[in-house]
Amino acid sequence: MRVAGVMSGTSLDGIDVAVVDIDWPKFEVVKFASTPYTKTLRKKILAVSNTDCHTRDIARLHYELAECYAAAIAALGVPDIDLIGCHGQTVYHEGPRCTLQLGEGAVIAERLGIETITNFRARDLAAGGHGAPLVPFFDWMMLTRPEIHRVAINIGGIANVHALPAGAAATEVFAFDTGPGNMVIDQLTVIATNGKQQYDRDAVLGRKGKLDHRLLRRLLRDPYFRKAPPKSAGREQYGEDFVAKLIETGLPLVDLIATATAFTAASIAEGITRFIVPHFAPDECLVSGGGVHNPLLMAELQGLLPTTYVHSIDDIGIPADAKEAIAFAVLAAATKLGIPSNLPSATGARHAAVLGQLHPR
């Protein structure tokens, strides 16, 4: 089965598409590409994310994004795709109460003539879960080893960790959002560069800044970090209002970027130390997502977890930038095969469920 997995995350950097050949449960990546959002489209998404807005704008964007997803898949030029799994663009998430991902699956199926699965999170919420994270199913299938205690870390807009004890059964895997990933750093970078940069490339700005320990301690006092999993976070907590309060401190923007980088690393390490280490001591952390390219963030994370090898998931043959798109290809295949693919131990759902809404070709 040849499946296209489509992911656009809370970092709002663009559309990731991975075409994957799946012979369950094995997979092979055929092609991967990322299509950046235009500034105009990114502005539209931000305008309807976690804020009061007109329902007209949400409805229009729901269809516009679907056209963009279809175009991104078609642009790869890969023939004989049997199935598409599209996560959609999250504009509001309040697990376990509600969630909303935009990108009308019927449009994708109509444009490409390919069966499409969307709306993966809804069934988990209906079953009492947070609807997130969903990638732990992929991690459990592909990364669990009988002799290695692993933690999979994804640093996108939001950061999350997936605990994979050696030889774990599905019920032993647990996961949760640790807090901000790149989201705060990216927003500050856009402001500091007057929109010329969307992220702190090679941590140039973060390295120029000075870490403000007092501010960092204050940020880490947020009760979220002490709340036991399952739990999820989003732009609701770490969006424009959060960044505005940072700017109100009067600190130079480069100092805020340095502090935000340390904040991301510290909140990830806090989550691992507080909630995973009591169960097992990780041998390694496999990092994916855009944060893997921030050398300052990676170095600080390694420094906070000195007994654990922190490195990119690239090192074991899974592309760090493509991992979540690959995961949604695998989740779509599971849905097509009738296999439940949420992990209640990760999302808090009452039971495992087959995820997603199917749109015929």
**Looking at the structure, do residues 165 and 121 belong to the same domain, yes or no?**
no
**Looking at the structure, do residues 278 and 158 belong to the same domain, yes or no?**
yes
Per-residue pLDDT tens for 176-194? 999 999 999 999 999 999 9
CA atoms within 13 A on the CB side of 54: 5
Average pLDDT rounded to a whole number, residues 315-338: 97
Q: When comparing pLDDT for 39 and 19, which is higher?
A: 19
Q: Say whether 320 sits in a helix, a strand or coil.
A: coil
pLDDT attached to residue 88: 98
For residue 52, pLDDT beyond 90: no
**Looking at the structure, do residues 168 and 89 belong to the same domain, yes or no?**
no
Average pLDDT rounded to a whole number, residues 119-133: 96
**Looking at the structure, do residues 33 and 174 belong to the same domain, yes or no?**
no
Per-residue pLDDT tens for 55-85? 999 999 999 999 999 999 999 999 999 999 9
**Looking at the structure, do residues 310 and 179 belong to the same domain, yes or no?**
yes
Q: Give the Cβ contact number of residue 141 at 10 Å.
A: 18
Question: How confident is residue 10, by pLDDT bands cut at 50, 70 and 90?
Answer: confident
315, 291 Cβ separation under 8 angstroms: no
**CATH number, domain at 186?**
3.30.420.40
**Looking at the structure, do residues 102 and 150 belong to the same domain, yes or no?**
no
pLDDT attached to residue 118: 98
Rounded CA-CA distance 45/38 in Å is 11
What is the tally of structural domains in the chain?
Answer: 2
Rounded CA-CA distance 267/301 in Å is 10
**Looking at the structure, do residues 100 and 167 belong to the same domain, yes or no?**
no
Rounded CA-CA distance 117/136 in Å is 19
**Looking at the structure, do residues 118 and 198 belong to the same domain, yes or no?**
no
For residue 50, pLDDT beyond 90: no
**Looking at the structure, do residues 152 and 234 belong to the same domain, yes or no?**
yes
Rounded CA-CA distance 352/43 in Å is 36
Question: Domain span at residue 152?
Answer: 136-316
How many residues are there in the chain?
361
**Looking at the structure, do residues 45 and 151 belong to the same domain, yes or no?**
no
Q: Give percent of the chain above pLDDT 70.
A: 100
Per-residue pLDDT tens for 200-243? 999 999 999 999 999 999 999 999 999 999 898 888 899 999 99
131, 93 Cβ separation under 8 angstroms: yes
**Looking at the structure, do residues 48 and 6 belong to the same domain, yes or no?**
yes
**Looking at the structure, do residues 177 and 300 belong to the same domain, yes or no?**
yes
DSSP 256-314: HHHHHHHHHHHHHHHHIIIIITTT---SEEEEESGGGG-HHHHHHHHHHSTTSEEEEGG
